[in-house]
Structure 1
Amino acid sequence: MSPPDKSYLQVLSELEQWGSYETSAQPRDISKLEGIRLLLKDLGHPERAFKIIHI
């Protein structure tokens, strides 16, 4: 078996240079339902097919 081309620390160093999506992501306002409304419209409003009462 041949030794790997890069050491673990070299690979780890390269990965750390890519940045962190967890810290760079922008927060979104999840209180707005516009995205869901557009999806339901594209699907033909399946939520309107049944009369449902949530209790």
Structure 2
Amino acid sequence: MSDSRNAFGGIFGLVFTAASVILPIYAAIVDFARDKFLWAAVDITVFPIGMIRGLMYFFN
């Protein structure tokens, strides 16, 4: 494999890992602020839902 492919995979992995940590926490904070405690718990415990809702709140 070329070095540029390895660099892209490393950068993509780093961005995806950071987003998978930050977005569910951001979604939970927004839900806590809106008094939606059940959704905040779901955002933290269920990884894909937290990421999707985090993106939804981020781009809203």
Q: Which has the larger radius of gyration?
A: 1
State the TM-score, normalized to the length of structure 1: 0.29
- Greater helix proportion: 2
Q: Answer 1 or 2: higher relative contact order, Cα 8 Å, separation at least 6.
A: 2
TM-score (norm. length: structure 2)? 0.28
